[in-house]
Structure 1
Amino acid sequence: MKNEVQVKGKFHYRLIGWKYSIWVRLLLFLLLALIFYMSLYVKLVPQVYDIQLGAVSEKTIYAPRQIENAVATEQAKEDAAKRVQPVYRVVNLKNDALIDAIYDKLLQINVDEEVKFDDKVSIYRRVIPQLISELENQSVKTLRNSGQYNDSLLEQIQQGLAEQQYQLPEEAFFKLPRLTKEDLTAMLPVTKDIVSKLMNDQILDAQTARAKVAELVNTSNLTKNTSRELVTEIVRAVITPNKFFDQKGTDDARGQARESVKPVYINKNDVLVNVGDVITEEIYARLDNLELLKDKANHLPQLGLAILAALLSFVVFMFVRQSTLPITYNNSQLVMLILIFLINVAGMKIISLGQNMDYPYIGYLAPMALGSILITILLDAPLAFISSVLFSLMASIIFNTEHMLLFDFRYGLVSLVICFVAVFTIQRASQRATILKAGLMISFFSMLTITAMMLMEDQFSQKEAIMSLSFAAAGGLLTVVFVIGLLPFFEVAFGILSPLKLVELSNPNHPLLRKLLTETPGTYHHSVMVGNLSEAAAESIGADGLLCRVGSYYHDIGKTKRPSYFIENQTNIENPHDRIDPNLSKSIIVAHPRDGVEMLKDFKMPKPIRDIAEQHHGTTLLHFFYHKAVKQAEEEGADNGIREEDFRYPGPKAQSKEAAIVGIADSVEAAVRSLRNPTLEQIDSMVHKIIKSRLDDGQFNECDLTLKELDTIAKTLNETLLGIFHSRIEYPSELASKKTGT
């Protein structure tokens, strides 16, 4: 095969290029060492500057640790006061009393037959607005007497009530006198109910609440249009604002905000001097206090850091070199590993920027187990354990706040514990909920480890304990967020088919599986059975059982293009192959792997799934149609030029254990299903016959299945079939009974 080569005795082929170049591999490990060096440089190499008083700075100087900034503190207080939102107070204005007063007045006047209609109209035109004003004034007076409200707020309340008072329309005064006692009795509870609902909300603008009245009235039990119309107007008149601006409360809140502002510090890594700034006495003194002024720089720490970075990279190199994983020779996976290292270290570096006097324990917030989880899911658990040790070592340096020590064992220990816990929790993840479980476990064990250290030191304050445990708890959740966000990127960018992705693809609601179920139910059932068989067989030899199961679900998806030409879908219909030429039948049958691959490509299915669909038949012979063609040629007296090669699947042969196992399970399931009442001996014979036939046909020549593994697969398939077809299997004792007639 062009541009392909077999590597380390394995039976699969790989393209020659940068992915397998030893020089690219060397550069990648050098890049990893550079990442280690740069990420630890600030912590392990003291930064000093040759600065003269009155000179112009030639570079930007950053603070190596925290120092107070009085000017910025005052500005922060002003900013805090500006950020305070206006304070509003919600008051109870006793709108129910106003409703009762209005309805009492209506009932009193309407039942008085001596009062003329025009007089009633005039009375209502004068009395109702007066009732509203009086009740509002009484409410304000009650609030003033309570002593809970300041004068400026009471003035705002009175002004707001006056400005937003509702004026009843003139036609309402002519309709009110016509209301009967029964009408008023029906209207009163509806009015109270609607006003109660609306006034339960905080109302700053009464007009907004009044706009909702008509809808609420229309859904009430009032049947008369006049009653509905007048209830609408009365409710609008009763509705008032109940939320008012409190100037004094706002001023007090802003004062408290100013007082609550803590001193502002020039944090670590903040700019002290910009390029081109003149070094004033204040700046010079600040640099001197931070020990940034020295005559000579010491280069020995750089050399020590370079050696340390080389050692860390060498540890990864030696483990990868001795591994049996594809990362041993696949530079693409090595790039992914380095990218995970970079992301994990970047996360720790970003969190370390927030370390200061107020939050010295913010390092526990860092997603230190992020890299371990990603490596476990995407690469390998043992590699994740080695990486966890390196992450822990780097965390103890990055989050070290003790200038006299190179390492802070607290962060290293916590990181080591949570990384190991994450690997143990996630290594057999089969659904994304497991990631959340891992996050909770990270939070719990991080808090547990911190608690243990604090109890042993016995020199911690309540504030330190609360901060440390809070950051630790949040760190586990932050790790979950980043893992869930980054995992799809790695799966797509590097073509990784993780267990979590496989579980998603196994969802019966996937469009292709729904298509398979609705259009070819027989093939769907066959695929599910093949999935059960292949998963058990794969797990028995240490192959990827989940990949086999999901690959089995999709391996015959190509049959949906011509479902009636496959026997499992020929329920109560004539076999169309009986009426067509065997060459045409052969073309239809062998096309389903190719059709399946095209359909899977259209749905952007991962390559391992497509490979199983393409390779599960390998280059096996279609015995039935081959012999049918030979027999037909003999009957027609034609020259028997029929070749076996013309009746074989196009292949390729299985390139992986998983593809080979699915192919075996596919043939075994179809063969056993054809037996009406299978016996244990028939099943065992059938399984071994199929495996031997494929072995003799060279179908396993390009995958790394051994004879021992094939024997294990056969035993596992027998056991699984025994469970699946248990009720149909005839046992030897039953056969003997039939023969003896007992």
Structure 2
Amino acid sequence: MKNQASIQGKFQYRLSGWKYSALVRFLLFLLLTVVFYLALTNKFIPQTYDIQKGSHAEKDIIAPRAIENAIATEQAKEDAAQRIQPVYKIVSLKNDQLVESIFEKLQQINADAEVTLGDKVNIYKTVIPNIIEVHTDKQVKMYTGSGQYNDVMLEEMKKKIVEQQYRIPEETFYKLPRLLKEDLIAMEPVAKEIVNRLMSDQILDAQTVRAKVAELVNSSTLSKSTAREIVQELVRTAITPNKFFDQKGTDEAKGHARDNVKPIFINKNEVLVKKGDQITDEMYLRLSSLEMLKDESSNWPKIGLMMLVSMFSLFIFMFIRQSSQSIKNNNAQLLMLVLILLITLFGMKLFSLVQNLDYPYIGFLAPSAMGAMLITILLDTSIAYVATVLFAIMASVIFNTDHLQPFDFRYALLTFVTSFAAIFSIQRASQRSSILKAGMVVSLLGMVLVASLLLLEGHESSKNALVALSFTIGSGLLTAVFVIGLLPFFEVAFGILSPLKLVELSNPNHPLLRKLLTETPGTYHHSIMVGNLAEAAAEAIGANGLLCRVGAYYHDIGKTKRPVYFIENQTNIENPHDKMDPELSKSIIVAHARDGVEMLKEYQIPKPIRDIAEQHHGTTLLQFFYHKAKKIAEAEGQTKPVDEMDFRYPGPKAQSKEAAIVGIADCVEAAVRSLRSPTLEQIDTMVRRISKGRLDDGQFNECDLTIKELDQIAKTLNETLLGIFHSRIEYPNDLPAQTDALKQTKRS
């Protein structure tokens, strides 16, 4: 018997050995790395083609992402720069000072009687051009270093003034020495007034302005013809350009115009080259700029991407390694995590396929929070937080339409916020309708975030904003729908008992529970009481209280096959065990655990609950029937002692804390119920005696229940039992003795 059990145990271990294999664990993390790589590869590594200039495309070449059309953009920038008019600056020139300097020199030289007329003519030929040159240099120097005009423009100013300088006719120099002081005094204000008047306009070409001088002088107060002629010449000399071309300013304006041109994009999935088209220089250059040519492709992006996704996998590995959850050693749960990540990333990729510049916000519709919600329900909240960070990074790359930056923070932030909202909303869910409520919370918070981003950007039209918000609302609803649809698959495929599934199984309308209630009402009441006790004890030590409660509901379902053989169902009938052989009674009592497991399998009840039904008695001894058999053997004079092993449950012993807790609660409830009027001291003594008895009997050797936890379980059971039996607690001096029948109930 033992040899057969040993062989069966080895077979089961080999069958489930993959769950704890280090090689399988490595392969799963390798698969996860490959999944990350494939999810991001088209964003970082474009498809390459083996084509040459002048050849014909064998198939359509599609843009792997929304990319800038560099040639069209550059042409648009050139067109914008060409439309910029030359920039001219107006310089305020003090040319009236030039007139004043010339008249001052005229009065000085003409007043000198010692200088001959011929010498004066020669002096004027030299002095007046010198005065003009000095004045020009002074004007340029005045603005140099002021910051008002750049040096290039000041050089242009000097150049234009010199180029357009007026040449005084030769005969004018002969007339200047003959001017009297009175003539000069009358001429100076007229000349200055005309210069100021003409220089107040913008002058690009001085010659056109000088044509107006004669009319203005002739209409002045000067009466002498000589004076008018000389004033005309001096005024023409003083008229210079004051509007100058600014090369630097023009270049800057053109630069701003070029910078303001928005890049022209080729939309994602747009055909770059049609099948059969000849590859032109422009097409080849465009493909080359996209690194889509095999000859020009680089392996560095592939290496960089592999390093990035390896860091993602290492991040998950290190977190799981330091986790206290069962996924640390359970490859089945790790496989489930990989599948959830794969499904979530696949969903993102699916929505990204239809995303382009015409529909830029369709990524808001993707159910990015689905993975975080599934991980929270099926695995653990802390793992869901870690996965959220990775989902946010992935979403920022997958939905990014800007080829200049690899990440779009909007999608990262949206995924981060909605996933956290999903985790907070679903972690204490007890019904499947809670998933829909969580989806609504995801929609609400996502909508608030998207609205805030749109307001911050401030350039979207009301139509686009409405579309973006609608997509965000749809994302939450899709998340709920996909989670509700995928949850049963994971529960069945991996035997996962989610809180939602446990709550469904605890429904009194479940066929097995209805069968238990109608056919064995005593056992049903006993199971409900055990469920209350087990749940309280489990939560006190951090075990799965809901699993203990539901497991307790089903732990004695096997009694429905032979209900009258169990004392709690014997109402006003004789106990059939009184007239039965103890070995036969033992076989009937022991069979209820095996029968329960078979019934639970028939109704496809998950394995953790079946394990509780099978293990809650462990290998405990049926003391009543064992002692009864010993008495019969002694009475019949049998020399062969009764083997204790023949009156023990076949096991297995409790493999989990939950199975051990249900076993203790089952025994304690039956024992305390056998007391007529239990006191607090009686309850405490009974609970601790049963706990210690099971511990000494080695029933907890195969589960990780500690002495400290066992003590906490005893305290919690005492408090719970006190609340249950408080209405009938009395404190008599003499405690009634237990009957044999009640002892039998306690041990069964």
Cα distance between partner residues in 2 of 1:579 and 1:400 = 81
Please tell me the residue identity of whatever aligns with 1:465. A
Cα distance between partner residues in 2 of 1:288 and 1:711 = 75
The answer on whether the counterparts of 1:502 and 1:547 sit within 8 Å (CA) in structure 2 is yes
Please tell me the residue identity of whatever aligns with 1:717. L
Please tell me the residue identity of whatever aligns with 1:278. G
Q: Indicate the structure (1 or 2) with the bigger Cα radius of gyration.
A: 2
Cα distance between partner residues in 1 of 2:308 and 2:679 = 66
* 1:695 counterpart residue number: 695
- Structure 2 residue 297 is matched with structure 1 residue 297: yes
- Compute the displacement of 1:303 (Å): 1.7
SS in structure 2 opposite 1:725? helix
Cα distance between partner residues in 1 of 2:60 and 2:532 = 65
CA offsets, 1:43-92, max 9 Å, x none?
Answer: 12244545345524355522234699xxxxxxxxxxxxxxxxxxxxxxxx
- Compute the displacement of 1:308 (Å): 0.6
The farther-off stretch of 277-286 and 551-560 is 277-286
* 2:588 counterpart residue number: 588
Please tell me the residue identity of whatever aligns with 1:437. K
SS in structure 2 opposite 1:573? coil
* 2:460 counterpart residue number: 460
The farther-off stretch of 43-52 and 603-612 is 43-52
Percent identity over the alignment is: 67
The answer on whether the counterparts of 1:52 and 1:279 sit within 8 Å (CA) in structure 2 is no
- Compute the displacement of 1:302 (Å): 1.7
Specify every segment of 5 or more residues in structure 1 that has no aligned partner in the other structure, as ranges.
6-11, 69-264, 737-742
CA offsets, 1:106-161, max 9 Å, x none?
Answer: xxxxxxxxxxxxxxxxxxxxxxxxxxxxxxxxxxxxxxxxxxxxxxxxxxxxxxxx
- Compute the displacement of 1:299 (Å): 2.8
Cα distance between partner residues in 2 of 1:410 and 1:595 = 57
* 1:394 counterpart residue number: 394
* 2:608 counterpart residue number: 608
CA offsets, 1:333-363, max 9 Å, x none?
Answer: 2111111111000000111112123320111
The farther-off stretch of 629-638 and 540-549 is 629-638
* 1:713 counterpart residue number: 713
The answer on whether the counterparts of 1:3 and 1:15 sit within 8 Å (CA) in structure 2 is no
**Aligned residue runs from structure 1 range 562-577, under 5 A:** 562-577=562-577
Cα distance between partner residues in 2 of 1:26 and 1:289 = 39
Specify every segment of 5 or more residues in structure 2 that has no aligned partner in the other structure, as ranges.
1-5, 69-264, 735-748
* 1:181 counterpart residue number: none
Cα distance between partner residues in 2 of 1:583 and 1:440 = 60
SS in structure 1 opposite 2:355? coil
Distance change >3 Å, CA 283–CA 588, structure 1 → 2:
farther
* 2:25 counterpart residue number: 25
- Structure 2 residue 277 is matched with structure 1 residue 279: yes
CA offsets, 1:291-349, max 9 Å, x none?
Answer: 55656123322221111111111101111111222222222221111111110000001
SS in structure 2 opposite 1:619? coil
| TM-score (ref. length: structure 1) | 0.68
The farther-off stretch of 698-707 and 27-36 is 27-36
The answer on whether the counterparts of 2:439 and 2:477 sit within 8 Å (CA) in structure 1 is yes
The number of aligned residues is 530
| TM-score (ref. length: structure 2) | 0.67
Please tell me the residue identity of whatever aligns with 1:533. L
Distance change >3 Å, CA 4–CA 314, structure 1 → 2:
farther
Please tell me the residue identity of whatever aligns with 2:414. V
CA offsets, 1:168-201, max 9 Å, x none?
Answer: xxxxxxxxxxxxxxxxxxxxxxxxxxxxxxxxxx
* 1:358 counterpart residue number: 358
**Aligned residue runs from structure 1 range 399-438, under 5 A:** 399-438=399-438
The answer on whether the counterparts of 2:66 and 2:402 sit within 8 Å (CA) in structure 1 is no
Q: How large is the RMSD of aligned CA atoms in angstroms?
A: 2.6
- Compute the displacement of 1:519 (Å): 0.6
Cα distance between partner residues in 2 of 1:499 and 1:67 = 47
* 1:215 counterpart residue number: none
- Compute the displacement of 1:604 (Å): 1.4
- Structure 2 residue 466 is matched with structure 1 residue 450: no
Distance change >3 Å, CA 557–CA 3, structure 1 → 2:
closer
Distance change >3 Å, CA 278–CA 334, structure 1 → 2:
same
The farther-off stretch of 29-38 and 529-538 is 29-38
Cα distance between partner residues in 2 of 1:436 and 1:344 = 18
The answer on whether the counterparts of 2:54 and 2:280 sit within 8 Å (CA) in structure 1 is no
The answer on whether the counterparts of 2:585 and 2:625 sit within 8 Å (CA) in structure 1 is yes
Cα distance between partner residues in 2 of 1:659 and 1:524 = 19
- Compute the displacement of 1:729 (Å): 1.4
The answer on whether the counterparts of 1:53 and 1:279 sit within 8 Å (CA) in structure 2 is no
The answer on whether the counterparts of 1:429 and 1:499 sit within 8 Å (CA) in structure 2 is yes
**Aligned residue runs from structure 1 range 662-681, under 5 A:** 662-681=662-681
The answer on whether the counterparts of 1:53 and 1:284 sit within 8 Å (CA) in structure 2 is no
* 1:108 counterpart residue number: none
**Aligned residue runs from structure 1 range 648-667, under 5 A:** 648-667=648-667
The farther-off stretch of 719-728 and 447-456 is 447-456
- Compute the displacement of 1:287 (Å): 9.0
**Aligned residue runs from structure 1 range 153-172, under 5 A:** none
SS in structure 1 opposite 2:367? coil
Cα distance between partner residues in 2 of 1:668 and 1:689 = 10
* 1:637 counterpart residue number: 637
Please tell me the residue identity of whatever aligns with 2:703. C
SS in structure 1 opposite 2:625? helix
The farther-off stretch of 690-699 and 43-52 is 43-52
